[in-house]
Structure 1
């Protein structure tokens, strides 16, 4: 059974829980041999990136080394602009998102991770959500400026693009992504394993 590959973009100052949720949920596909495997690989602009709350990642592939044809999905966690996340608004990430989406891939974002995707033009005429409590940024207003209908709802799925309002929903986003990649039945089975109970 061929594994699915997911590309996780990590900008400097990324939100730690949002990154880890993707790694953990997809990692649980390794739990039983009958499950379809989903492998997560990281990309970014530096060989090492730092999460806002202390995580450090050695990046698998710099963004200019990535072949988008290799991936079924792109994940963009949010981050803190005060800690370097502005770098996520770069042309290489916008181009990568457009290519992966154009070839039928899924884009999953959390919090402000939706904004670089909106800047790529992929959400024009669509719908998404983002973090509403930023002290210096009107994230929902920015979505509207970019031609997207913004909502204050917790999770929005539109045209294979997933967005959520904050890190509290990151496991839900990861689970939605997993269901899109391997099917609802397998995603439910993995959720059961992760819950650790049959009740």
Structure 2
């Protein structure tokens, strides 16, 4: 049997410009697994995005590529319906095939020049950073559109990754980056005031919304506490 794959979708600069404008106003970024055991990914996304999530990323290391591409179709459709951005994690090939407006890379993933070589100028590119030097490098790189700082606290979604703590957040904030940046790692309603006091204005969350029985309310309560 011959397996067919979707043709790569165009990633054009005009689409990137629109996504960049949307990123400038983004404050709440959600990472979610595929929710395969619950079977409610689409309903969950509608609820979280209705509550005010600005960017949603499907991050599920247990998916094979075929299943991820299938689910990215759902993420793209729901995010577009709500006027939100959607991001592919780690995989430039999946981002290309899915036509993603955003692709996020960790420090151990493809370097920025390689991602741009594969994807061109169209999609926004995000980077994970875990030190002041890495944050400064992301800030200085014109090809990086946003970066995340963390994990602030140890979290089961990043096993083995040491927490960087709020001091790094304060140092990054004091450097006054012009690139949009997000605080990540263990951020929840109980810790949000500490994160904001340390200088962050944008956050990435996982369990604060995915673990809620009412994801729309959870998202709305977080979004209302973030700067306009």
TM-score bracket, shorter-length normalisation = 0.3 to 0.5
Larger Rg: 2
Q: Report the TM-score, using the length of structure 1 for normalisation.
A: 0.37
